[in-house]
Structure 1
Amino acid sequence: MPEFQKLALLVSDSDRAREAAEGVFENLTDWVPIEEAEAVVVIGGDGFMLQSLHAMLDEGRILPAYGVNLGTVGFLMNKNRQPEKLLSRIARSKAHKIAPLSMQAVTEEGETHRFWAINEVSLLRETRQTAKLEVMVDDKVRIKELVCDGVLLATPAGSTAYNLSADGPILPLDSQLLALTPISAFRPRRWKGAILPDRSRVAIKVMEAEKRPVSAVADQREIRHVVEVKLEIARENELTLLFDPGHALDERIVSEQFVF
């Protein structure tokens, strides 16, 4: 059972989240600055939760996060019910660990960028020209030439997001797997993707990069004109999400497979 004495409050800029914070949440306890906190309460939607988690990753101070959904989908959040009982709900919450992907992307100019992705890293064509990609897993070429709109690598936490929309598989949270999913593959046309152990190292090279430019997107962060991307799980940056009993992320992943 989590016991946190010092909590920080992070609120989305949306009108709905701001109104709720000013009306109920801001008066529930003596909130502290995030620099002094033991955990954070995130008010908003999935996008704001991802933004908040990325900020903690960038700053090197990762705290447990309890989300209250005042957005649209709220897959990473808890339901906004009985807001006056928020503190007792946090005390009863269950912790779930998720490890982000590390993305190292090299651009045509030779610059190297490193970002983290909690949901997925996607490579996408920038123009009308299809992308041509070489796909390597653990230093072995698995597809010499993938002609497509793009390809993505998703974590279990992100497998119900863009990955699912691209007809990728839903992965249980504790599966220790990754989903490598093509986006509108033209050749090989019948390749539907692959499920990989999460210890796998994936490298994707862009062929004919000047003629067929490709961008790399790690969750919400985009790098354009990439020539190579290397991906692997960043276990040293493991994140903790707090969920109400019965509404945990692993249950949501199972439930999502029975929605028609």
Structure 2
Amino acid sequence: MNKKRDAKNKSYYIGLIIIHILLLSMTLTKRKDRKTIFLTLLLIVGFAFHFEYPLYILKAYRYRTGILRTKEKDNSFGSVLSQALFVPSAAIFISAFQLGWKMKILFTFYFVFIERLFLKVKIFKNNWWHTSFTAISICTYFFVSDVCYKGIKKSKKLFSNLTLYHSIHLTYMSLLFSASLFGLFRFTPTSRTTQPWYEHYSFTKVYLVIETVITTFILERKKKWLKVLPLFIIVIVDRVLLKMDRLKVKGSYWLGLFPIRMIAHLLSFQLQRWIKK
């Protein structure tokens, strides 16, 4: 019975994934200003994740994608799909093609319909969240996307700095989220818990905000030797957390988690060069 339910859940979410990948692909292929589009996408995905952080921690709603076996992992994966693909792909489509308020309202109703449908077939659950909150936040998000797109297109310093921060944050988050899904590491902020993944994911979100602020600030300094400092700080903090038993790593830290940290830092360095070019 559970297998049939998971298969049904998967079909809805996979269908939505295909629709929004096609929407994003069309935006990137039909428009020539691909760098502006991609940078705007990174920025608004970052905004979406920051907006969703407290909602996840406060358990506003629950996703049931049926893609991952563990319920809490499945919930966080649904959250990632929503904030990284579903809503941002629609927002960048509207901004890139400079569509007006009518299309914003239309897409808002589209997401409201999706949420109501998912609630009805029980593959999404609202706890204290309400669909009206979804409508207001998504419609607002579309207008924020327009502002970001125009700011990046005009090469405004504020938007350039915000894009750098969110790009680095997304790089760290994507790599660490994937690594933790495969069981390579886990944060344990409390010694006893009945919700290990929930605590790990919640802690990771907050930890990476601080980590990204430090990394972005240091990378913006002119002295080249400072570029290695963020990685050095990260390794020290990781080692302290390991000593405190607040970070658990599968196998050796230097062969498991450290290479991921190194890759994330190198990608961040390259992103800075590309964004500031």
Q: TM-score, normalised by structure 1?
A: 0.27
Higher share of residues assigned helix: 2
Higher share of residues assigned strand: 1
